[in-house]
Each structure stands twice: as C-alpha cells, then as structure tokens.
Amino acid sequence: MCSNTNEEIGKKMPDCRARRCRGFSLIEIMVVVVIMGMLAGAVAVGVNQYMDTAKINRAKSDIATIVDAVEAYKLTKGRYPTSNEGLEPLPLKNDLDPWGRAYGYNNPGQSEPFEVFTLGADGRDGGEGIEADIYSWQLGEMEEVTE
C-alpha cells in the first residue's frame, strides 16, 4: 500500500513510517478493552441470574426427593421420622441444600404430617426471590422460577 514513488504523478510519496502505518494507538486499544469489559460484565450478570434460578430449582427437586424418601420410610417403619431424628435415618445421597446448609425437617409440619424445607440463600426465615424459604407443602402450589 505504501510505496516510495508514485509513477503516475512522478513525485516521491512519504514512506509508511511517516504516514503512521505502524499499528493501533494506545487510546484505540484502551477503548476496545473497555468495550470488551462492559460486554463481559453484562454476560456475568445474566449468568448469575441463571445460577440463582438453577439453585432454587435444585432445592425444589431435592425437597421432592426427600419427601419421597420420608414416605418410603413410613412404609417400611410404619411411622414418619420424628423431629429429633430428622433426616438422619433416611438413605440420602445429599442432605445439603444448594447453599451448603442441611435441609430442615419438622414432624408435624404446618399443614402436612411432616415438612422438609430450606431457608434459602440467606439462611433466615422469610425472604423473597433467592432468599425465600422453600417448604415441601409449597411445592404443589409453586410455579417454576423463570428468568
């Protein structure tokens, strides 16, 4: 692209170094890096929302599995585990919720003979969204979390 002579005009053209054909300036590189950082940040926010939804859905699935295990225990032993026994007598592969805490168990439950629950991401009673408590008696009422 750069040449030392222009044969059509017969005049000498400046060489590449004089016309700044060397590459990108620091400002151009910084602008590209900032734009890439903004895009990566937007993607990270979207991924976190999906991770929260996945944890809630996993907790619901785990609770449903534990409820089935409690019902199977009743069939073999003729009774539900007591609150003092908790989930210990059950052959569970995973007794931790997605946030690393043990699932809770009450016998009797609020509206059922027993209840299995997790206190959500915050580990405290109440809350909304990812911090909401999930109880076994709510599973039939709850719709799948979207977004």
Q: What is the mean pLDDT of the chain?
A: 80
Q: Using CB atoms within 10 A of its CB, is residue 135 exposed (0-12), middle (13-18) or buried (19+)?
A: buried
- Class of the domain covering 19-138: alpha beta
If one compares 30 and 23, the residue with the highest pLDDT of the two is 30
Question: What are the two backbone dihedrals, phi and then psi, of residue 95, each rounded to the nearest 5 degrees?
Answer: -110, 15
Q: What is the pTM of this model?
A: 0.64
Mean pLDDT is lowest, of 17-21, 39-43, 58-62, 141-145, for 141-145
Q: Does pLDDT of 2 surpass 60?
A: no
> What is the band of 42 on the pLDDT scale with cuts at 50, 70, 90?
confident
The pLDDT of residue 30 is above 70: yes
Burial of 101 (0-12, 13-18, 19+ CB in 10 A): middle
Burial label for 105, CB within 10 Å (0-12, 13-18, 19+), is: buried
Quickly state the pLDDT bin for 24 (edges 50, 70, 90).
Answer: confident
Number of C-beta neighbours around residue 81 at 10 A:
19
pLDDT confidence bin for 145, thresholds 50/70/90: very low
Which distant-in-sequence residues (6+ apart) come within 8 Å of 39 by Cβ? none
Shortest CA distance to 66 belongs to which of 142, 132, 137? 137
Per-residue pLDDT of 48-92, as tens digits, reads 778 888 899 999 999 999 999 999 999 999 999 988 988 888 888
Average pLDDT over residues 35-49: 81
